[in-house]
Structure 1
Amino acid sequence: MKIFVISDIHGSSYFLKKVLEAYKRENANYILILGDELYHGPRNPLPVEYNPKEVAEILNTYKEKIIAVRGNCDSEVDQMLLQYPIMGDYTTLFLDDKRIFATHGHIYGEDNLPDMSQGDIFIYGHTHLPVAYEKNGIYILNPGSISLPKGGNKNSYGLFENGFFYIKDLDGEILKEINLK
């Protein structure tokens, strides 16, 4: 199974369309969205082609493939436009023999991990920085941001595939990878 991971769309229809091209190219089974779908937030600049209503319409066409969590910029009003649930602060998934704890990162983060076991995966967004490393037997992952990357990083997404997690730019170039075995 392939799980395509995105975070921090922040209402950019331009970058959402670009990343959905990558989703199709990757032939992934599901899309995991780590929050901040529609609103850009008061600390962020307006992203390219800021159009939250169009973003909601596009995402709704993938509703049966989306697993999502709430970001710090997501609200009940956003949920009214989206046809899949986004209001949970986290979700737990299982991939092969791994438990994945998926969250946005504004409540739980690298310095405030939930209770986890060796071999578990903690994946989050929020910082707009791509991250892939193992610490004390727990994998810490962040796909970066598709619309507003920080720290000089490229617009990026993540992909769980065949026991690896890849962080790729929108053209599919691998920026980081980690073996999850």
Structure 2
Amino acid sequence: MKIAVISDIHGNLEALKKAVQDIEKRKVNTIVCAGDLVGYGPYQNEVIEYINSKNILLIYGNYDAAVANNDVNFIKDTPFNKNFALPWSVNTVSEENKNWLKKLPESITLAINGKVIKVVHGSPLKVNQYLFEDAEDTKEIMEKFQGDVLVCAHTHLPFVKYFGDKMMINDGSVGKPKNATHNITYALINIDYEISAEIIELKHDNSALIEELKRLDVHKEVIDSFVEGK
């Protein structure tokens, strides 16, 4: 069985379409989205509509929660987020879509061929906790984790790592990478008697998205983050 995990789309519709088209070519059984459909990008409602048109399992991310509830505590409480980034997204996303985001689950647990895969956005403890590959709190989380595979997102930095006989996967980001590129990443998990996983990276050009942000007169810090991949 093949499972693809996407996340951190952040209003980047073209990147999302490109990722899903590539996934569909690989004949996966299930697509799971680990949250953060909205925030930053210009096509936040369109991303939700596209996700709804596909058979995708879905949880909410911290930015989804921040926008749906107009609550900066789910994201970094900085002047930029509080005074611009969050208000702009709150005003951009429709009330219908905010209510839809509020109904999404916080996590998904899949039991396949005797293996347990848990999908969260930040960590099993908090939706906005960053679990970096070599951090001490990541190791502590994995020591306590009861399943076989923990899939997370949020950092926008992809990796696959073993902690003893347990695997941790971060699928990276479809729409807003933080590895100094514009490239799309997602995770592809193969589950048979054993589990294997790989990070798929697709070349992408965000020029059209950046021009749309400029046309909308979005804050320069948002534009720069897409330009620089940070």
Q: Quickly name the TM-score band, shorter chain normalised.
A: 0.7 to 0.9
Aligned residue type for 1:155: I
Q: Structure 1: state its 5+ residue gaps.
A: 41-45, 172-181
Find the aligned partners of 1:86 and 1:156 in 2 and give their Cα distance.
26
Query: Match for 1:144 among 172, 183, 198?
Result: 172
Alpha-carbon shift at residue 66 of structure 1 (Å): 1.4
4+ long deviations beyond 4 Å = 82-86
Say which SS state the counterpart of residue 8 (structure 1) adopts. coil
Partner residue, 1:6? 6
Alpha-carbon shift at residue 151 of structure 1 (Å): 2.7
Q: Does the CA contact (< 8 Å) of 2:130 and 2:154 recur in 1?
A: no
Say which SS state the counterpart of residue 54 (structure 1) adopts. helix
Say which SS state the counterpart of residue 19 (structure 1) adopts. helix
Query: Match for 1:60 among 52, 68, 76?
Result: 52
Larger Rg: 2
Alpha-carbon shift at residue 4 of structure 1 (Å): 1.1
The within-5 A match list for 1:1-181 is 1-40=1-40, 46=41, 50-62=42-54, 65-75=55-65, 76=68, 80-81=96-97, 87-105=104-122, 107=126, 110=131, 111=137, 113=141, 115-117=144-146, 120-152=148-180, 154-162=183-191, 163-170=195-202
Q: Does the CA contact (< 8 Å) of 2:8 and 2:173 recur in 1?
A: yes
Across the aligned residues of Structure 1 and Structure 2, the Cα RMSD in angstroms comes to: 2.6
Q: Cα distance 1:25–1:135, how it changes in 2: closer, same or farther (>3 A)?
A: same
Find the aligned partners of 1:166 and 1:13 in 2 and give their Cα distance.
23
User: What is the TM-score when the length of structure 1 is the normalising length?
Assistant: 0.76
Q: Structure 2: state its 5+ residue gaps.
A: 70-92, 132-136, 204-230
Q: Cα distance 1:24–1:150, how it changes in 2: closer, same or farther (>3 A)?
A: same
Q: Does the CA contact (< 8 Å) of 2:187 and 2:197 recur in 1?
A: yes
Find the aligned partners of 1:109 and 1:100 in 2 and give their Cα distance.
19
Q: Cα distance 1:5–1:137, how it changes in 2: closer, same or farther (>3 A)?
A: same
Q: Cα distance 1:87–1:34, how it changes in 2: closer, same or farther (>3 A)?
A: same
Q: Does the CA contact (< 8 Å) of 1:143 and 1:156 recur in 2?
A: yes
Q: Which has the higher strand share?
A: 1
The percentage of aligned residue pairs carrying the same residue is 30
Aligned residue type for 2:45: K
Find the aligned partners of 2:162 and 2:130 in 1 and give their Cα distance.
14
Find the aligned partners of 1:146 and 1:86 in 2 and give their Cα distance.
22
Count of residues paired in the alignment? 160
Find the aligned partners of 1:31 and 1:85 in 2 and give their Cα distance.
21
Q: Which has the higher helix share?
A: 2
